[in-house]
Amino acid sequence: MKITTVLGSPKTNGNTAAVLEMFEKKVPPEHRVERFNMVDVKVSGCKGCNACKKNPDDPACIQQDDAEKILNSIIAAGAVVYASPLYCWSYPAELKALLDRHYCLVTGYGTSDFRSLVAGRRASLLVTCAGPVENNADLIQTMFDRMSAFAQLDVVGKYILPGCTVPDALRENAEHIAGRMADEILGS
């Protein structure tokens, strides 16, 4: 199975990157992981122009950036992992722009002509945060659930790792979460 991972953190060596790397190392070699670091690509926010709705088989956009490449990787994958630090109860801007561009993956929303180019893909959310989960990481999970329902992704896990300060302090709990993520995303 191909797994697309999306690192939404502006820090490629931070807490979120460390846990995502642990997950990627736990994926057996017969599976292929393709990672996108949002800080290394250019993705503009959705303009809401609906030009992407002209061809329901193509996530094309009038904007010439890296979103189409990332979205095509997600379409071709059997699973996708979105990894994000918690920024003001939500996603960092780099990841939020890509999530908004998921709009092009769905046509006919709310009609009998509904179609999603990623329907049935397994999806997981990994969030690292310095504070607690309660009254802190609840909104990001709700946003993920709604985006996943809109795109008809099959959510197989949401993993919140609280109390993150520095990557070196993550080890035991992070390794456990990374292992659970790998098992659940692969359906083991």
pLDDT digits (tens, 9 = 90+) for 135-151: 999 999 999 999 999 99
Please give the structure tokens belonging to residue 46. 């959705």
Q: Total structural domains in the chain?
A: 1
Range of the domain at 85: 2-186
pLDDT tens digits, 154-188: 999 999 999 887 777 777 889 999 999 999 999 97
| Closest of 26, 23, 25, 21 to residue 11, by C-alpha | 21
Cβ–Cβ under 8 Å, residues 140 and 89: yes
Tell me the average pLDDT across 62-70. 96
Instruction: Tell me which amino acid residue 149 is.
Output: A
Over 80: is that where the pLDDT of 72 sits? yes
Instruction: Tell me which amino acid residue 164 is.
Output: C
Residue 137 sits in a domain whose CATH number is 3.40.50.360
pTM of the model: 0.95
How high is the pLDDT of residue 111? 87
